């Protein structure tokens, strides 16, 4: 679920609560999300550490600790992170860090497809180097997007969602951006013309920025860092609207699973 706007919202919400906080007791309710540490080693590495910085990279939340290690949390489909006071019993709570007083940072993940990593500075460098550019960074130009789409005949929608080519775009915003840019999601990425790349560049950045302003899209599980649903789901133009009228031309929107097996919503008329 959480794509760039959702993780950005979580990071902004958590930052004032976490920055400077010391992690007390670490409770691991489900250990299968820990991808590179045993539960004992994980708890030992975190307990007593101070959080010095809260940031986002792609769809990952990154907590920098005072010993240089980074706690990287990738919520994938159903993960959420909130700061709560005296968290109530929740069968889907996965991790719980006491923060002093009554505050806790809780990672909740129904399907537990999420990933939690503890990375040294060197491993972090290697990790972030494999991810593509940040689409909202000032230096992300249309030419840069054009380069990300180069090579191979893969569908442009798949290229947009490929985290090595471009960071942070998932299924919802790939659908939205392609509709805004009036580009057929199944077209080979390498065949998108320069004028279309320019439209797509504007569309991707525009929809991501508006979704951040709207505090993300809640389809089902996503919650902001304060535990609220996002507000952008009411402003989606195509995602989840199969059979409903296209907001541009009024014809019926279509749904296919032919691209990568993922739900692709599009207007067969506007995006052809």
Tell me the catalytic residues: 2-3, 59, 262
Of these, 77, 98, 136, 254, which contacts DNA (CB under 7 A)? 77
CB of 3 to DNA, least distance (A): 5
User: 110 vs 247, which CB is nearer to DNA?
Assistant: 110
User: 98 vs 136, which CB is nearer to DNA?
Assistant: 136
User: 50 vs 123, which CB is nearer to DNA?
Assistant: 123
Q: Token digits for 54? A: 């809260």
Q: What burial class does residue 175 get, using C-beta atoms within 10 Å of its C-beta: 0-12 exposed, 13-18 middle, 19+ buried? A: buried
**What is the pattern of x (binds DNA, CB under 7 A) and - over residues 182-221?**
-----------------------------------xxxxx
- Total of residues contacting DNA (CB under 7 A): 41
CB of 38 to DNA, least distance (A): 16
The answer to whether the CB of 135 falls within 8 A of the CB of 163 is no
**What is the pattern of x (binds DNA, CB under 7 A) and - over residues 91-110?**
xx-----------------x
User: 35 vs 44, which CB is nearer to DNA?
Assistant: 35
Return d(Cα 108, Cα 39) in angstroms, integer: 16
Q: Does 271 bind DNA (CB under 7 A)?
A: no
CB of 90 to DNA, least distance (A): 11
Q: Which of residues 130-169 bind DNA (CB under 7 A)?
A: 151-155, 158, 161, 163
CB of 33 to DNA, least distance (A): 10
CB of 106 to DNA, least distance (A): 17
User: 3 vs 196, which CB is nearer to DNA?
Assistant: 3
Return d(Cα 27, Cα 159) in angstroms, integer: 38
CB of 212 to DNA, least distance (A): 15
* Residue range at the interface with DNA (CB under 7 A); choices 9-17, 134-142, 191-199, 252-260: 252-260
DSSP-assigned states of every residue in the chain: ---HHHHHHHHHHHHHHHTTPBP--EEES--TTBSSS-HHHHHHHHTTPBEEEEEEETTEEEEEETTS-EEEEE-TTTEEEEEEESPPP-TTEEEEEE-STTEEEEEEESS---EEEEE-HHHHHHHHHTS---TTSTT--HHHHHHHT-SS--BHHHHHH-TTTSSS--HHHHHHHHHHTT--TTSBGGG--HHHHHHHHHHHHHHHHHHHHTT---SSS---TTS---SGGGG-SSTT-TTSBPTTT-SBPEEE-TTTTS-EEE-TTT--
The footprint of DNA (CB under 7 A) covers 1-3, 6, 32, 58-59, 74, 76-78, 91-92, 110-113, 151-155, 158, 161, 163, 170-172, 217-222, 257-263
């Amino acid at each position: 679920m959480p794509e760039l706007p959702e993780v950005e919202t979580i990071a902004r919400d958590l930052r004032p609560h976490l920055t400077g906080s010391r992690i007390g007791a670490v409770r691991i309710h489900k250990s299968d999300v820990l991808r590179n540490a045993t539960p004992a080693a994980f708890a030992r590495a975190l307990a007593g550490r101070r959080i010095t910085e809260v940031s986002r990279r792609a769809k990952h939340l990154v907590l920098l600790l005072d010993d240089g290690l980074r706690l990287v949390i990738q919520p994938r489909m159903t993960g959420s992170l909130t700061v709560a006071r005296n968290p109530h019993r929740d069968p889907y709570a996965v991790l719980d860090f006491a923060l002093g007083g009554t505050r806790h940072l809780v990672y909740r993940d129904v399907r537990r497809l999420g990933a939690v990593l503890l990375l040294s500075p060197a491993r972090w460098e290697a990790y972030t180097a494999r991810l593509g550019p940040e689409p909202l960074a000032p230096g992300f130009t249309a030419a840069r997007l054009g380069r990300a789409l180069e090579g191979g005949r893969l569908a442009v929608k798949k290229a947009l969602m490929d985290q090595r080519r471009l960071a942070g775009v998932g299924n919802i915003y790939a659908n939205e951006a392609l509709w805004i840019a009036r580009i057929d999601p199944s077209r080979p990425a390498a065949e998108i013309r320069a004028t279309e790349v320019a439209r797509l560049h504007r569309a991707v950045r525009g929809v991501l920025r508006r979704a951040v302003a709207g505090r993300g899209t809640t389809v089902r599980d996503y919650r902001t860092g304060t535990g609220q649903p996002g507000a952008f789901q009411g402003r989606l133009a195509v995602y989840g609207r199969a059979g409903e009228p296209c907001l541009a031309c009024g014809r019926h929107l279509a749904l296919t699973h032919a691209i990568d097996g993922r739900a692709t919503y599009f207007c067969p008329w506007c995006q052809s």
